Amino acid sequence: MYFQPEIETMSREELRDLQLERMKWCVQYAYDNVPFYQKSFKDAGVEPGDLKTLEDITKFPFILKQDMRDNYPDGLFAVPRSKVVRLHASSGTTGQATVVGCTENDLKHWGECFARGLAICDCDENATMQIAYGYGLFTGGLGAHRGGETAGCAVIPISSGNTKRQIQMLKDMQVDVLACTPSYALHIADTAIEMGINPATDLKVRAGIFGAEPCSQGMRDEIAEKLGVQYCDVYGLSEVMGPGVAFECKEMSGLHLAEDHFFAEIIDPDTLQPVPDGEYGELVFTTLTRECCPLVRYRTRDITRIISEPCACGRTHRKIDRIIGRSDDMLILRGVNVFPSQIEQVLTGFPEIATQYQIILTTRGPLDHVELRVETVPEFPFDEIRKLETLKKRLAAELKGNLQIAVDIKLVEPKSIERSEGKAKRIIDLRKE
């Protein structure tokens, strides 16, 4: 089992000492090797030597996704190409792609962080893991892969897609743990059921390592029940490492950060000031061991909070709460802030509705128009207009009551919303610039 008690359960004092030592290294190293940091530190009037305590990190300037774009492709690399063994890149759907590199040590640490998550799922060298995250420039597939190999599992690198074949493999190879996005996990479960296979009883899968996108409690329950698995949420982002930055333990009350490799802060995205533990805000990371792409105060845009109370599992690394969403995906509907995952949670309360939805934003005159497209389950009598109208009214009332939002609801027939094999696209923005 890849549990590392000497690190994962070390005392808070020892952990903070280790973090400070590594943070001092990172700040100096970034300054010495990356011209961007020399300039940004100088502009902010700070020097690496100003970091004397962990809290001093707040004196340093942030780095943004835009800075990575501006330094495309490898302007932020701190090592020569001879030391780089892997390159990943973000899709670049919302602008210039960003490239991240890894040294051999970076990959080793990544594998160890992911393997800790496999230990949480009781997976050791006897376990078989099917990886249905996409392989390629996306970090999901290869990140989980290295983790599986580090833990000694038998890894099936099937990648995403070809859903019927996924199910065949799960069955024939007696897979113990499935790794994919939650939306794909649900699609796999539903497809198996359509094929006459009950995944909860006919498959051996007992754990799922699901991440890369937000997932409401209702959808988690549905996935865990349909597949009959322990649901383990994994968080990560390509800029910082990839999957494994944080993992949910069996207490299911948050995700333990790999605090020996990353220092996390939560800031108010408007004032940019730190917020106290327990309060929601934007997650900011300083990497403590990364060699190729060290990051000092990277703003993730992810909204969560730090849970610093001791965890019953014995791990001493602090937890983050499940990510509600990215600040970029937050909708402001007549002054009310709402994340797609909150809408999803309301939908999961309706047995007549499948956990499939899309939010379509368009422009109508001077105003934004929001349409919520939701799919009914196959058993629902879609041709009975009165029943449809009643369902729509009940849903509208529930959205109003729970989230104080009013949206234009459109009920659509089963299977009309495209299923996701990776990250589900919940928001379709057709607004004119």
Report the C-alpha dihedral over residues 234, 184, 100, 316, rounded to 10 degrees: 0
Within 10 angstroms of residue 354's Cβ, the number of other Cβ atoms is 22
What is the C-alpha to C-alpha distance for residues 154 and 193, in angstroms, rounded to an integer? Answer: 26
393 three-state secondary structure:
helix
Q: Between 346 and 424, name the residue whose CB sits nearer to ligand DLL.
A: 424
Number of chain residues interacting with ligand DLL (CB under 6 A)? 21
Distance between alpha carbon 41 and the CA centroid of its chain, in Å?
A: 30
Per-residue tokens: 117? 């998550």
Among residues 230, 238, 345, 376, which is the contact residue for ligand DLL, using CB under 6 A? 238
**Min. distance of Cβ 134 from ligand DLL in angstroms?**
9
Among residues 106, 233, 260, 282, which is the contact residue for ligand DLL, using CB under 6 A? 233
Q: Is the dihedral of CA 60, 254, 117, 217 positive or negative?
A: negative
Q: Between 222 and 391, name the residue whose CB sits nearer to ligand DLL.
A: 222
Q: Between 2 and 114, name the residue whose CB sits nearer to ligand DLL.
A: 114
Q: Between 48 and 325, name the residue whose CB sits nearer to ligand DLL.
A: 325
303 three-state secondary structure:
strand
Of 79-118, binders to ligand DLL (CB under 6 A) are 90
Among residues 211, 254, 294, 422, which is the contact residue for ligand DLL, using CB under 6 A? 211
Contact between 154 and 124 under an 8 Å Cβ cutoff? The reply is no
The residue whose Cβ lies closest to ligand DLL is 211
302 is a site residue for ligand DLL (CB under 6 A): yes
Contact between 235 and 211 under an 8 Å Cβ cutoff? The reply is yes
Among residues 103, 130, 139, 342, which is the contact residue for ligand DLL, using CB under 6 A? 139
Q: Between 20 and 153, name the residue whose CB sits nearer to ligand DLL.
A: 153
Q: Between 48 and 148, name the residue whose CB sits nearer to ligand DLL.
A: 148
340 is a site residue for ligand DLL (CB under 6 A): no
222 is a site residue for ligand DLL (CB under 6 A): no
**Min. distance of Cβ 32 from ligand DLL in angstroms?**
27
Q: Between 90 and 128, name the residue whose CB sits nearer to ligand DLL.
A: 90
Contact between 339 and 330 under an 8 Å Cβ cutoff? The reply is yes
Contact between 284 and 297 under an 8 Å Cβ cutoff? The reply is yes
420 is a site residue for ligand DLL (CB under 6 A): no
Part in contact with ligand DLL (CB under 6 A); list of ranges 9-17, 59-67, 210-218, 372-380: 210-218
323 is a site residue for ligand DLL (CB under 6 A): yes
| Closest alpha carbon to 361 in 347, 353, 351, 371 | 371
What is the C-alpha to C-alpha distance for residues 380 and 414, in angstroms, rounded to an integer? Answer: 9
43 three-state secondary structure:
helix
230-237 and 242-248 beta bridge pairing: antiparallel
By CB under 6 A, name the binding residues for ligand DLL: 90, 133, 138-140, 211-214, 233-238, 242-243, 300, 302, 323, 326
